Amino acid sequence: MTAAIFSKLSDDVVLNIFSKLEDDPRNWARLACVCSKFTSLIRHVCWKSKCNETIPSVVTDLLPSPDSSFPGGWSALYKLAVCCPGLQHAGVLLELSDFGLERELGPDDYFRISKATPSEPHLPLQASDSCSNLENCDSSWSLFDDLYYDTVYNVSESQDGAATSCEANEDVIGDNDDESVDAVGKAGYDFPVSKRRKVCFRSFRSHLASGVWSLNREEGNKLLARRFRGDCLYICDWPGCVHTEEKRNYMLFRGIFKNFKKSRVWRTMLDGNRSKTDLNCAFCECKETWDLNSAFCLKRGCGYHDDGEPVVRAYVCENGHVSGAWTDWPLYT
């Protein structure tokens, strides 16, 4: 019924209505799953105009010409501006061993989670049905899926709102806790055996970022090692999206390389034959990423915590999209 009514309106009228709802990215995420007309307008007009309005200098610098397009499309750049990658895409939930020391994220109670299917994210029936008839639904689905829990819980963009939501909706995962295990399984991720810890449903998946929605080249320069300072990396303003976990705080950031395929970081990955990690990009369809920390592309001296966890971690996909996390500095540095 809605699609039939709006199909009679001109695109200019519809876009004028959409412009009244642009302050909250979740509004466009909802509208993108209403009908194919909304999806097309949001993908090809709204995201582009919003990026040009909010981060004009970044757009001008990243695009070699007005007719060029971004790796991953305008949806990826818009998502970079407003979405936090979440603990999963930032690599915080990976089971890593640094210098032979196992990372610990909580007390010593183990749990096991049955394998889930990442390609089938858990969405309500209405959301799935609304998107089932759309053509080229990947971009709109991605934003809707990542912002869906913000829509349900009506989480404020402020840091306090995000913290309150996490406390209100957290699940404690422990031995033989079928309900909590099922909750994580439904999210579409396959976690290895880990420590008992509290998990906020919003925290490990992409979501609306707290803090300022902007990208800054100066912040990117602070992240890269000296020999990569010639590369241009834009990342969000410090401290990014702050996630308070049991053991330490994680300041999650996101960013993008300019001309990544021509950067020294890219050449380092190819020349060094660096292996990829099985970690999806939070902003495009890339299924694997490179670990910038293990490739020695990040600033030296950041160090590790006493449990072996790196102070800063970052992952980059083939399109140059970066997801990562800072932690508090160790006391001995």
- For the chain, which residues make up each domain, given as ranges? 2-83, 84-100+212-327, 110-200
Which pLDDT score is estimated for 237? 87
Residue 292: pLDDT above 60? Answer: yes
Which pLDDT score is estimated for 258? 94
Residue in the structure block whose two tokens are 């979440």 = 86
CA dist 198 and 189 (Å) reads 16
* pLDDT per position as a tens digit, 171-202: 332 333 333 333 333 333 343 333 333 344 44
Q: Residue range 45-54: average pLDDT? A: 90
Q: Which residues contact 303 (CB under 8 A, 6 or more apart)?
A: 310, 311, 329, 330, 333
Tell me the pLDDT band of 272, cut-offs 50, 70 and 90: confident
Find the distance separating the first CA and the last CA of the chain, reported in whole Å: 62
Residue 317: pLDDT above 60? Answer: yes
Indicate the pTM of the whole model.
0.69
* pLDDT per position as a tens digit, 1-32: 556 677 778 889 999 999 988 888 888 888 88
Tell me the pLDDT band of 108, cut-offs 50, 70 and 90: very low
Share of residues in the chain with pLDDT > 70 (%): 64
CA dist 291 and 313 (Å) reads 8
Which pLDDT score is estimated for 155? 40
Q: Which two tokens stand for residue 78?
A: 């818009």
Q: Residue range 155-171: average pLDDT? A: 39
Q: Residue range 297-319: average pLDDT? A: 87
> How high does pLDDT run on average in the chain?
71
Which pLDDT score is estimated for 222? 87
Which pLDDT score is estimated for 313? 92
11 Cα distance to chain centroid: 31
Which pLDDT score is estimated for 201? 44
